[in-house]
Homo-oligomer: A and B are copies of this chain.
């Protein structure tokens, strides 16, 4: 059994610590922020979680499904709000299928508690990592309040320390490390729709709400307390952008122009807008993810993605599942475990990174397009007729365990077929009568 240090007690780090502890390893779980269970981490820059099938399977593995279900609000589809306030609903999957809005902090607390209950996992808070030595491996820590310095020298070091990972930075200084960080031109800002007077939700709580506006969009996810956490995705610069909105009057004017139906439900929008930070959105791709049998990175540290497919946490949890399966298979052969871990995951991480970037365009622009909605309807129809021959891309990502890269590949094939179908004259009327079986068979040859 090994002595393992996990850097970062966020969702992925905490889940991994549970799994490592259960396999008999001694784990130090290190976090630079204070204990979330005593001091909230909320800093006005949380994007709500959308927990879907891959995430649930990971929670199942550690026995947390029932507890988390209590906290989760099912969202059965997208509710689009146009400029006039008209609503269009588009289901995510088949009847009854949903993704779940979950509070990041509540889920994190549950995972920390579980890690601590394990007995093999020790949590350390307010410990900032100042240096990483991959070769030993070792991490230098400084307590953020007392300034006290310490050095940990585990057998294995795992970086679950997010998009700006210190473990990955150390890897980046080794030779032949491929690395990319890519910021999109949009930032985001958190806003809130408070509960109604009676404590209930101001808009439908069982949907993910989207106000698609071409080059920008607002979304809202329900919270258990009756509020919604909204996120505005908006260009940093340009004609209509963060850059141009500087006063309370600007904020009100902007919302009146683009989001008139939501403005009455957000009494504090101007203050919140000016007070909350504007954050950036980065995609990180890198390789390798491991260093000898000594260190590895996981979750956002290895593959930070933009939030538009709701898969960031789900992908990180899937990393944990794979690593746990490999520990089961190879026991103490860490070189083998690490080699297969990165071998299995890197292409899938690339695929979900691409899909997440693509989905931003879909969400902010296409979802307002009747042709797009018709296409989604037809795809659902084909899926219902021939579930073995056709699974829509969103369903593969959110409601299955098909590897992301495989889903992306199948999605591209479907794209070609749907383009052909959508080119049918008068498709708006004819779609229920088309001979989909023949079309699918033609494409399979």
Q: Is A236 an interface residue (CB 8 A)?
A: yes
A161-190 residues with Cβ-Cβ distance < 8 A to B are 172, 175-183
Residue contact B175 to A280, C-beta cutoff 8 Å: yes
Residue contact A179 to B176, C-beta cutoff 8 Å: no
A164 nearest in chain B by CB position: B173
A177 to B172 Cα, complex, angstroms = 16
**B-side contacts of A172, CB under 8 Å:** 181
A175 to B183 Cα, complex, angstroms = 9
Copies in the complex: 2
CB distance from A82 to the nearest CB of B (A): 31
A182 to B176 Cα, complex, angstroms = 8
Q: Mark A178-222, 1 if CB is under 8 A from B, else 0.
A: 111111000000000000000000000000000000000000000
**B-side contacts of A175, CB under 8 Å:** 183, 280
**B-side contacts of A181, CB under 8 Å:** 172, 177-180
CB distance from A276 to the nearest CB of B (A): 16
A283 nearest in chain B by CB position: B178
**B-side contacts of A179, CB under 8 Å:** 179-181
**B-side contacts of A236, CB under 8 Å:** 176
A236 nearest in chain B by CB position: B176
What are 15 A-to-B residue pairs whose CB atoms are below 8 Å? A172-B181, A175-B183, A175-B280, A176-B183, A176-B236, A176-B280, A177-B183, A178-B182, A178-B183, A179-B179, A179-B180, A179-B181, A180-B180, A180-B181, A180-B182
Q: Which 8 A-B pairs have the closest CB atoms?
A: A180-B180, A176-B183, A179-B181, A178-B182, A178-B183, A176-B280, A175-B280, A178-B181
